[in-house]
Structure 1
Amino acid sequence: MQATVVSNSSVSNNILAIISRSNTEKVMLVQILVGIFLYVNCLMMLTFLNKRVFREDTRYILFAQTLFSDSAFMALSDLVLMGSYYKYPIHMIPCIIMCTILNVLSVCTPLTLVAMCLERYVAICMPLRHADISTSRTRVLGLIIIWGISSIIPLFTLIAYLSVVPSGALLSSAVCGVELLLEKDWQAQARAIIFLLLFLFMIIIIAFTYIRIMTAARAASSENKKLTSKGLRTVVLHGVQLLLCVMQFLNPYVEMIFWKVDVLVFINIKYFNFITFIIAPRCLSPLIYGLRDDKFFLVLRHYALCGLDLFSTACSKWRVRPG
């Protein structure tokens, strides 16, 4: 009997060791992916900042905003993921601040994608008015609107949480996670309804731009068909990216089910959601503008190869001299 107990205990320890090793490998893989993502984004932001022609173009300004918001969101999400994995408690006030910033950044990227689709719509369907519409004043106003709308839901979530949480709870410590701000069921339901309305609003705008650009592509001359077709593909890619970004809004509700039930399943689901709905959609922005955009890609390649003069001639073709 005693030998059987010892044997069962040994098997349990072996299973726990295998599970722990598997989770460690998953966390290490996430760190590698995040590191690559941040390096590519930093390289692209360096390319944007070093070229005046990019800093004066609305589409590249919006692209730079997605790079900034995605990089900050990725870094903070990775910290939260690591804290959940190692069950490291932190003070509630820094946790609340970090979760609120995460909520703002999570809404900022989808709204910026919508703005990028609208910019492509104006450039393709109203080319003669594009210069008058896309001015420095409208850019600043557009960025203010994006960040203002992005702050509405996080501020609602924060105020709702502070209104129901006991004052003493703010002085405690806990394993940080966005689900901590959803103290009551009505908070989660109200937040979900607002996200749904915002998602429908963004989908309608993207569908509108897609239909108008598709109509313009059919009516365009042969020399303009390439531009309109490329714009159409860009809108489609932004639509896919938006769908994946919006899916991350559902993550807290799925993860909350296992928050106090099974920690191991909670970690696995959080890992899957992180890879699928946080890393994956944010890899599309560098793909759309870093590889598909000829002008940006030439300068990016120059910086990625440490300024080799091999591509100076190619870059001069676009009047964007490297260095």
Structure 2
Amino acid sequence: MTNNSSLDAGKSSGRLINDRVIFIQVLVAVLLCINLTLILTFFMKEIFYTNMRYILFANALFSDCINIIMTNVMLLFFNFSVPVQSWSCIFFCLLPSLCNYVTPLTLTAMSLERYVAVCMPLRHAELCTAGRALQVILIIHSLSIIPYIVVLIIFFSSVTFSFFTQHIICSVDALILHRWQGHVRSAISQFYFLIMCILIAFSYVQIIKVAKAASGNNKESTRKGLRTVILHAFQLFLCLIQLWTPFIEAAVLQIDFSLFINVRYINYILFNLSPRCLSPLIYGLRDETFLLALKQYVFCCPFIDTVKR
């Protein structure tokens, strides 16, 4: 009787995991299709790839696509207990860890761009050029790689060569061999996000000041910029919570492994995929110029030609 019950429980658990994996694959496929469609639309009009705001938007989309693909691969490895060599795991962790910083840093840069557009309109054309956008993207990626370099230096100083010949279940936690290493990674992440929160809050406050003094069309433009910054702040908040999920999951793992699986599944959807659903909403659907171009190329509407070439 006990054996049959255990077998039934095992089948139920396996079916639950498979159902969740299928659901996530559908969700990932939808997000990737949306993001890739938006990226294609970005390259279709000169007004987009010569405008700083849209260039930063495309950078966020690229980062989100890479993050979704790599984290999904790691999730599949974990769910099906697929072992990989340790050195391969380092590569699999590199790109998602890099993108975890690229996206929020890009959101911060986009908020600052809105601040310049609303609060310094006469200097916007001078400060927010396509060339400056590429410089900003280079800075974003340089800042994003620093935390991972620190983690790698600490990691390489803590392991022997034999570790790289082992096969492990790949996750970022596998590279954290000591608790203090996790604290260092968390401290760096929190410092980054504290600076980003300050910059977004600064943009928000300055735009509010302009909104109170604005009138007519300027007031409507200011309100739109304010809503955009608020959405960026919400995205950043979700990314910030993602920093704490490894600590929550580690604590839950000590209590119950089944509960750990459930918590990791929920965290992945809420704090990894959800923030990446908002980027298409903010600029892909709320932006009138981009929406018109999207309709023109996705729905094959040649009569929609109000977007400047």
1:31 matched to 2:25: yes
Q: Is the 8 A contact 2:292 2:306 kept in 1?
A: no
| CA–CA separation in structure 2 for the residues paired with 1:308 and 1:160 | 55
Q: For this pair of structures, how many residues does the alignment match?
A: 309
1:164 counterpart SS class: coil
Query: TM-score, length-normalised on structure 2?
Result: 0.96
| CA–CA separation in structure 2 for the residues paired with 1:278 and 1:114 | 18
Structure 1 counterpart of 2:290:
296
CA-to-aligned-CA distance 1:39-98 (integer Å, 9 cap, x gap): 000000000012111000000000000000000000000000000000000111111112
Give the one of 233, 236, 254 matched to 1:239.
233
Give the one of 148, 153, 156 matched to 2:150.
156
Structure 2 counterpart of 1:308:
301
Q: Is the 8 A contact 2:66 2:95 kept in 1?
A: no
Give the Å deviation of 1:265: 2.8
Give the one of 267, 288, 291 matched to 1:273.
267
Give the Å deviation of 1:251: 2.3
Change (3 A) 1:39 1:270: same
Residue type of the partner of 1:244?
Answer: L
Residue type of the partner of 2:308?
Answer: R
Q: Is the 8 A contact 1:114 1:205 kept in 2?
A: yes
Give the Å deviation of 1:22: 1.2
Give the one of 128, 132, 137 matched to 1:138.
132
Structure 2 counterpart of 1:208:
202
CA-to-aligned-CA distance 1:215-252 (integer Å, 9 cap, x gap): 11111121211110000000000000011012112222
1:43 matched to 2:42: no
2:168 counterpart SS class: strand
Query: TM-score, length-normalised on structure 1?
Result: 0.92
Structure 2 counterpart of 1:57:
51
Following superposition of structure 1 onto structure 2, how do residues 73-152 of structure 1 map, counting pairs within 5 Å?
A: 73-152=67-146
Give the one of 152, 155, 171 matched to 1:177.
171
Q: Is the 8 A contact 1:49 1:55 kept in 2?
A: yes
Residue type of the partner of 2:89?
Answer: C
Structure 2 counterpart of 1:319:
308
Moved more, 226-235 or 99-108: 99-108
Residue type of the partner of 2:268?
Answer: F
CA-to-aligned-CA distance 1:270-301 (integer Å, 9 cap, x gap): 21111000110100000001110000011112
The two structures, once aligned, show a CA RMSD in angstroms of: 1.4
Give the one of 149, 162, 172 matched to 1:168.
162
CA-to-aligned-CA distance 1:180-206 (integer Å, 9 cap, x gap): 111111111111111111111111101
Residue type of the partner of 1:98?
Answer: F
CA-to-aligned-CA distance 1:129-151 (integer Å, 9 cap, x gap): 00111123322221111111101
Following superposition of structure 1 onto structure 2, how do residues 244-259 of structure 1 map, counting pairs within 5 Å?
A: 244-258=238-252
1:13 matched to 2:7: yes
2:177 counterpart SS class: coil
| CA–CA separation in structure 1 for the residues paired with 2:146 and 2:132 | 21
Identity fraction in percent: 39
Q: Which has the larger radius of gyration?
A: 1
Residue type of the partner of 1:308?
Answer: C
Q: Which runs of 5+ in 1 are unaligned?
A: 1-6
